[in-house]
Structure 1
Amino acid sequence: MATGNTTLLSKLPKTTALSQPNCRTKPETPIPTSLQSPWLGTNCLSLRSTILRPRQKKVRLVAATVSFSLPVTKPETGSSTDKVPKWSWRAIKSFAMAELEARKLKYPTTGTEALLMGILIEGTSLAAKFLRANGMTLLKVREEAIKLLGKADMYFFSPEHPPLTVDAQRVLDWAVDKKIKCGNSGEITTSYLLLGIWSEVDSPGHKIMATLGFSDEKAKELESLSSEPGFDDD
Structure 2
Amino acid sequence: MGEHYPHLRVEDLDDRLVVTLDRPEVRNAIDTAMVESLHRICAGLEHTPRPLILTGGPDIFAAGADIAQLRTRGPSDALAGINSALFHRIAALPMPTVAAVAGPAIGGGAELAYACDFRIGTDRTRFGNPEGQLGILAAAGAAWRLPELVGEQLAKEILLTGRTLNAAEALDVRLLNEVVDADALIATAHAWVDRMLRNAPLALQLAKTALRAPREAHPVLDNVVQAVLFETDEKARRMDAFLSRRRA
TM bucket by the smaller chain? under 0.3
Instruction: Using structure 2 for the length normalisation, give the TM-score.
Output: 0.24
TM-score normalised to structure 1 length = 0.25
Structure (1/2) with the larger helix percentage = 2
Larger Rg: 1
More strand per residue: 1 or 2? 2
RCO comparison, higher one (Cα < 8 Å, 6+) = 1
